[in-house]
C-alpha cells in the first residue's frame, strides 16, 4: 500500500460532490456547539485504524449525519480506501458519491458533515489538514474533523476530539494571504487557529445494558493492567517529536531574522541612494542644469519577499500539542502511582 501522509486531505478531496447535500443538512444559522457521535461510529473509526493503520500510517474517512439546532449529530461514517500510486483510474469523488448513493437507497443518513483521520503521537496540526478542513468548512459550514489518537486509546482512555477552524482563520484562508502583516492584522496566533468542539457519545439503551453486563462479567485482575506504569516508549517518542518541531521552529526563526536583516539593509541602500541624488541635484542646480527626473524607488529596490508565517503558527500549535500530551502522560502516570499505592495499602 502506498504511504499516505497525515492530513493529506484525501478523504476531503471529494467534498464538492456532496456540497449541496451538506448545505441541506443545516437546519439553521447557529454555530455548532456540540458534536454527538453514535457509539457505532466510534467503533467503525477504531476498527478502520486497526485494519489499515500500521505505525505512523494515517487512515481517513467520511462522516455522515445531520445538524439539529446547534448540535451536529454524526450517525454514520465510511472509510476512505487506501490505494497505491499506480491506481491512476481510481476516482475519489466518484467513490464517495457511490457510497452516499448506496446509503441513501437503504434509508441511512447520507449527508456529508465532515471527515475523520487518525494521528501519530498527536502530530495532526499540519498545513494539509488546515487546507482540507478549510475546503470542507467553506463548502459545509457545520463540518468538523475528528482526530482519533490510537496510542492514547491503547493506554486505556478513548482519545477522540473534534476540531473546526476559527472564523478569523477562515477569513485569512479565504484571502490566501499568510504574510506576517496579514496574520498580525487578523490577530491570528496558534492558540486561536482551531477551536475544539465538545463531544458526546450516545448509545441506545440496549447497548448501555449490554455494556453494564460486560463490565460485571469482566475479571477484576484484568483491570489492574490499567495501573501499569510502563511508558511503552510514549514519553520518549513524544519528546523526540517535540525536539524535532523545536528545531524546525528555530530554522524558521533564522529565516525570518534573515528577512528582517535584508529589509534593514535595503532601507539603508534606499537612504544612501536618495542622499546621492539630492547632492547631485544641488550640484546640477548650481551649474544651472535641470534636476534629475523623478524615479520610482520601489522599482529600483524591490522589497524582499517576506516568508509565510502560517507554517510557523502550525509548528507552534504542534509544539503546544506535544507539550499537552507530555503533561497528560505525566499526570496519568502520577494518578496510576497513587492508585497502585492505595491498592497496595488496602491489600495490606
Q: What is the pLDDT of residues 258-279, one digit of tens each?
A: 888 888 888 888 888 888 888 8
**Which cell goes with 94?**
466518484
CB 12 within 8 A of CB 132: yes
CB-based burial of residue 146 (10 Å sphere; 0-12 exposed, 13-18 middle, 19+ buried)? buried
Compute the half-sphere exposure of residue 164: CA atoms within 13 Å on the CB side of its CA: 22
Compute the half-sphere exposure of residue 141: CA atoms within 13 Å on the CB side of its CA: 15
Q: In the predicted model, is pLDDT for residue 17 greater than 50? A: no
Q: In the predicted model, is pLDDT for residue 306 greater than 50? A: yes
Q: Which residue has the cell 453486563?
A: 213
Largest CA distance in the chain: 108
**Best-predicted range by mean pLDDT among 50-64, 135-149, 277-291?**
135-149
Q: Measured between alpha carbons, how far is 101 from 249 in angstroms, rounded to an integer?
A: 45
Query: Please, what is the average pLDDT of the chain?
Result: 77
Q: Measured between alpha carbons, how far is 54 from 46 in angstroms, rounded to an integer?
A: 13
Which residues are registered as beta bridge partners of 162? 146, 197
Q: In this predicted model, what pLDDT tens digit does every residue of 201-215 receive, in sequence order?
A: 988 777 777 777 776
CB 134 within 8 A of CB 173: yes
Q: Measured between alpha carbons, how far is 23 from 140 in angstroms, rounded to an integer?
A: 6
| Predicted confidence band of residue 10 (pLDDT cuts 50, 70, 90) | very low
Q: In the predicted model, is pLDDT for residue 33 greater than 70? A: yes
Supply the pLDDT for residue 19: 39
Q: In the predicted model, is pLDDT for residue 180 greater than 50? A: yes
Overall average pLDDT of the 39-50 stretch: 90
| Predicted confidence band of residue 345 (pLDDT cuts 50, 70, 90) | low
Overall average pLDDT of the 56-65 stretch: 87
Residue with more model confidence, 13 or 298: 298
Supply the pLDDT for residue 84: 60
| Residue 110 main-chain phi, psi, to 5 deg | -130, 10
Q: pTM above the 0.85 mark? A: no
**How many residues does the structure list for the chain?**
348
Percent of the chain with pLDDT over 70: 77
Q: Measured between alpha carbons, how far is 6 from 14 in angstroms, rounded to an integer?
A: 17
Q: In the predicted model, is pLDDT for residue 228 greater than 70? A: no
Amino acid at each position: 500500500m502506498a504511504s499516505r501522509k497525515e492530513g493529506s486531505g484525501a478523504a476531503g478531496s471529494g467534498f464538492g460532490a456532496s456540497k449541496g447535500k451538506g448545505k441541506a443538512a443545516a437546519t439553521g444559522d447557529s454555530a455548532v456547539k456540540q458534536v454527538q457521535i453514535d457509539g457505532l461510529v466510534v467503533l467503525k473509526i477504531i476498527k478502520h485504524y486497526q485494519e489499515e493503520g500500521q505505525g505512523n500510517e494515517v487512515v481517513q474517512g467520511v462522516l455522515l449525519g445531520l445538524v439539529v439546532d446547534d448540535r451536529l449529530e454524526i450517525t454514520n461514517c465510511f472509510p476512505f480506501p487506501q490505494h497505491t500510486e499506480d491506481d491512476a483510474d481510481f476516482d475519489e469523488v466518484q467513490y464517495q458519491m457511490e457510497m452516499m448513493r448506496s446509503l441513501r437507497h437503504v434509508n441511512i443518513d447520507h449527508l456529508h458533515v465532515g471527515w475523520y483521520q487518525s494521528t501519530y503521537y498527536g502530530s495532526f496540526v499540519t498545513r494539509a489538514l488546515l487546507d482540507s478542513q478549510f475546503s470542507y468548512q467553506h463548502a459545509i459550514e457545520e463540518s468538523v474533523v475528528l482526530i482519533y489518537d490510537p496510542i492514547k486509546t491503547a493506554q486505556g482512555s478513548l482519545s477522540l476530539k473534534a476540531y473546526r477552524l476559527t472564523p478569523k482563520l477562515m477569513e485569512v484562508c479565504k484571502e490566501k494571504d499568510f504574510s506576517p502583516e496579514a496574520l498580525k492584522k487578523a490577530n491570528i496566533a496558534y492558540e486561536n487557529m482551531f477551536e475544539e468542539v465538545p463531544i458526546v457519545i450516545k448509545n441506545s439503551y440496549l447497548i448501555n445494558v449490554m455494556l453494564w453486563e460486560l463490565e460485571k462479567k469482566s475479571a477484576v485482575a484484568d483491570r489492574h493492567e490499567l495501573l501499569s506504569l510502563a511508558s511503552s516508549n510514549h514519553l520518549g517518542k513524544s519528546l523526540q517529536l517535540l525536539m524535532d518541531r523545536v528545531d524546525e521552529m528555530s530554522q524558521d526563526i533564522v529565516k525570518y531574522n534573515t528577512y528582517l536583516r535584508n529589509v534593514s539593509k535595503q532601507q539603508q541602500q534606499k537612504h544612501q541612494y536618495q542622499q546621492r541624488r539630492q547632492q547631485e541635484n544641488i550640484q546640477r542646480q548650481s551649474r544651472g542644469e535641470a534636476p534629475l527626473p523623478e524615479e520610482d524607488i520601489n522599482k529600483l529596490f524591490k522589497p524582499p519577499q517576506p516568508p509565510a508565517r502560517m507554517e510557523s503558527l502550525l509548528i507552534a500549535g504542534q509544539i503546544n500539542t506535544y507539550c499537552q500530551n507530555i503533561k497528560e502522560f505525566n499526570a496519568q502516570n502520577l494518578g496510576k502511582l497513587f492508585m497502585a499505592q492505595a491498592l497496595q495499602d488496602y491489600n495490606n
